[in-house]
Structure 1
Amino acid sequence: MTNTNSTNMTHASGLDFEPIERKTMVMEITDRLLSYLLSGKIRPGAKLPAERQLSEAIGVGRSSLREALKALTVLGLLEVRHGDGTYLKRADSELLPRVIEWGLLLGEKRTMDLIEARQTIEVAVAKLAAVRRDEQQLLELKAIVDQLDTTGNTNSVFEAYTESDIAFHMKLAEIAGNTVLRDMLTSIRSLLRVWIKSVVASEGSTQFSYKEHLAVYQAIELGDAEAAARAMDAHMDSASSRLKLLIEEWNEEQ
């Protein structure tokens, strides 16, 4: 039954909203998977049922199910072990309350959009940090850069590097002094953690990334805003290209 009173009020007030679209199939499937993962029926580290079993239980095709599983994998909630199956990494991720809000689960296009948006934000942050930093902040930033100068290709090395990498970017946002930019980066910090670790682990080294961060620091130390922007842009190009390749590989394996 149509609510004519509500419709008339909308037109009478001069407000002209587009109708709200129904959620995509992938979003709906992901909603159900998230509910399942949070229900306690599957414990962190446990293997998910086979795709066929999940698709039959949810009542959807396997191709749509794979898209939803892929989105959760990119977000770091699931781990695909090739030849073995899909496992729940952890059920208490701080990502979970924000997953739907971000809209990343609409598919790969949104993920690519976020990569692009992050690059724009990071370049702006670096440029501001170069002109607003003080000596104490430089010392603190240098200490983080020194932590990035690591070698080795073990999981513990990659995890430690990832935390230092995030600390570097969050310190830059603090130095930049723009609360909006800082809050944007803070809101995707958990997602960045997944991305950064995935990239360095796939390369099997952290040195390429360390050199990129060092170039950003050196420009900020000189107070050269344009050089800082160029160095950060180059770093983001490098990181984004590697991440896109990873996503393409994940797509091909699905």
Structure 2
Amino acid sequence: MREVSSEYLSPIKAKSMVDSVVSRLTSAIMSGELKPGMKIPTEADLVKAFGVGRNTIREAIRILVAYGILEVRRADGTYVCDGFSLKILDPMLYGIILQKESAHRDLIGLRKLLDNGILEELFYKKLSADTWRRLNAIQNDLEHYLSSGENNVEVIAKKDIAFHQELASATDNIAVITTYDSIVKITEDFLYKTIETILQHDAVAYFSESHRGIMEKLAGNNVDELFRRVEWSYKYWYMTFQEEDSSKAGDLQEK
């Protein structure tokens, strides 16, 4: 292999060698020194360049492979993955769940923050005619389903998710899209519960009002009204939290 003088390939002096190797390689990817699909230096070359042991390099590579940043091709070498992987986010998000019993509140809060951020960007960016057509088609499909009298929770959830994912996709930001997809996936069960709450309160019209309201404010000229509409769209999420808390309190009293 030819001599490499890249900045990331210099001796490491930090105490946490594995973390340092992980950090150095990910920084090289973010800076563009290592590009998606590019083969990284061999294990022996990394040992020599970083001034660390072979086991340190192997452990760092194992971590980056587990996160979906690198991939090992047998008899060929180790390459930077050509694309964004959910593996990068899943350990972090599932780690939040393990922190405390009320973690679902934090994740729903994160989802709302993402909704606000996505919609604020789209408010100023302005949606293309194609995106508006897709949003209207998704919403018309949802409303047609609801008008038929069908109330299958999973079907409603799928159509609701499609609406919000279309908005995330309109940012053209792969990190935003992937993060939002991960949040949607991990909060899907609570979405089912929220839809059940809506149906129990005979508030089917809420599905239409929520989405149509967001679209109306997104096309408007007051971003604060858009934020208020997002807050309103979480009305039944909050109600579901309250009903769950009341149910848990009741269970504790019975015991």
> Which TM-score applies when normalising by structure 1?
0.54
1:27-66 paired onto structure 2 within 5 Å: none
Q: For residue 192 of structure 1, report the CA deviation from its aligned partner.
A: 3.2
2:205 to 193, 204, 207: 207
Matched, 1:118 2:116: no
1:189-228 paired onto structure 2 within 5 Å: 189-204=184-199, 205-222=203-220, 224-228=222-226
Q: Deviations over 1:74-127 (max 9, x none)?
A: xxxxxxxxxxxxxxxxxxxx9xx7598333133333222112111111111111
In structure 1, what is the equivalent of residue 174 of structure 2? 179
In structure 1, what is the equivalent of residue 137 of structure 2? 143
Residue identity opposite 1:122 in structure 2:
D
Residue identity opposite 2:214 in structure 1:
V
Moved over 4 A (4+): 12-15, 97-100, 151-155
> Which TM-score applies when normalising by structure 2?
0.54
How far apart in 2 are the matches of 1:114 and 1:209? 21
In structure 2, what is the equivalent of residue 241 of structure 1? 238
1:103 to 76, 88, 96: 96
How far apart in 2 are the matches of 1:203 and 1:228? 22
How far apart in 2 are the matches of 1:152 and 1:246? 28
In structure 2, what is the equivalent of residue 85 of structure 1? none
Q: Would the alpha carbon gap of residues 101 and 194 (structure 1) be closer, same or farther in structure 2, given more than 3 Å must change?
A: closer
Percent sequence identity is 15
Structure 2 residue matching 1:142: 3-state secondary structure: helix
How far apart in 2 are the matches of 1:99 and 1:120? 17
Residue identity opposite 2:95 in structure 1:
W
Q: For residue 148 of structure 1, report the CA deviation from its aligned partner.
A: 2.8
Q: For residue 223 of structure 1, report the CA deviation from its aligned partner.
A: 6.1
Structure 1 gaps of 5+ residues are 1-11, 16-93
How far apart in 2 are the matches of 1:155 and 1:143? 19
How far apart in 1 are the matches of 2:174 and 2:222? 22
Question: Does the Cα contact within 8 Å between 1:130 and 1:220 map onto a contact in 2?
Answer: yes
In structure 1, what is the equivalent of residue 164 of structure 2? 169
Residue identity opposite 2:139 in structure 1:
V
Question: Does the Cα contact within 8 Å between 1:166 and 1:192 map onto a contact in 2?
Answer: no
Higher Rg of the two aligned structures:
2
1:130 to 123, 133, 141: 123
How far apart in 1 are the matches of 2:132 and 2:93? 37
How far apart in 2 are the matches of 1:105 and 1:228? 33
Q: For residue 187 of structure 1, report the CA deviation from its aligned partner.
A: 0.8
Q: Deviations over 1:31-63 (max 9, x none)?
A: xxxxxxxxxxxxxxxxxxxxxxxxxxxxxxxxx
Residue identity opposite 2:161 in structure 1:
I
Q: Relative contact order: is structure 1 or structure 2 higher (C-alpha 8 Å, sep ≥ 6)?
A: 1
Q: Would the alpha carbon gap of residues 241 and 100 (structure 1) be closer, same or farther in structure 2, given more than 3 Å must change?
A: closer
Q: Would the alpha carbon gap of residues 168 and 241 (structure 1) be closer, same or farther in structure 2, given more than 3 Å must change?
A: same
Q: For residue 209 of structure 1, report the CA deviation from its aligned partner.
A: 2.8
Question: Does the Cα contact within 8 Å between 1:125 and 1:176 map onto a contact in 2?
Answer: yes
How far apart in 2 are the matches of 1:240 and 1:220? 21
- Aligned pair count reads 161
How far apart in 2 are the matches of 1:242 and 1:151? 24
